[in-house]
């Protein structure tokens, strides 16, 4: 997930940075710095954010695939958006 995708998904859910941080069990400082691009997200932070978004019905797995493509130089970072990551119905595992 890129910082832009994180911010767009958070806004789409109408969450504040504090709300996302609470749901991801991270500090609001870490989430805010990641969204602003001041610090890269560690694997643990990205996993926490993806879990929080997934629980809200956002396709976080697709966000991670885009992040991997950006890191591998397959996709330019400025061409990523959160549009493909619209909310989907959330289904709990049985």
Integer Cα distance of 91 and 94 in angstroms? 9
Computed on alpha carbons and rounded to an integer, the radius of gyration of the chain in Å comes to 12
Using one digit for the tens of pLDDT, what is the confidence trace for 16-41? Answer: 999 999 999 999 999 999 999 898 88
Integer Cα distance of 28 and 61 in angstroms? 22
Q: What is the pLDDT along the chain (94 residues), one digit of tens a residue?
A: 788 888 888 888 899 999 999 999 999 999 999 999 898 888 899 889 988 998 988 876 666 666 566 566 654 444 444 444 444 444 444 4
Structure letter (DSSP) for residue 75: S
């Amino acid at each position: 997930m890129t910082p832009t995708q994180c911010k767009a998904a958070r806004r789409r859910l109408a969450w504040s940075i504090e709300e996302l941080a609470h749901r991801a069990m991270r500090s609001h400082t870490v989430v805010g710095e990641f969204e602003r691009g001041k610090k890269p997200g560690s694997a643990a932070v990205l996993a926490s954010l993806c879990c929080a978004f997934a629980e809200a019905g956002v396709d976080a797995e697709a966000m991670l695939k885009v992040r991997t493509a950006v890191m591998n130089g397959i996709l330019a970072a400025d061409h990523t958006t959160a549009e493909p990551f619209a909310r989907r119905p959330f289904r709990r595992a049985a």
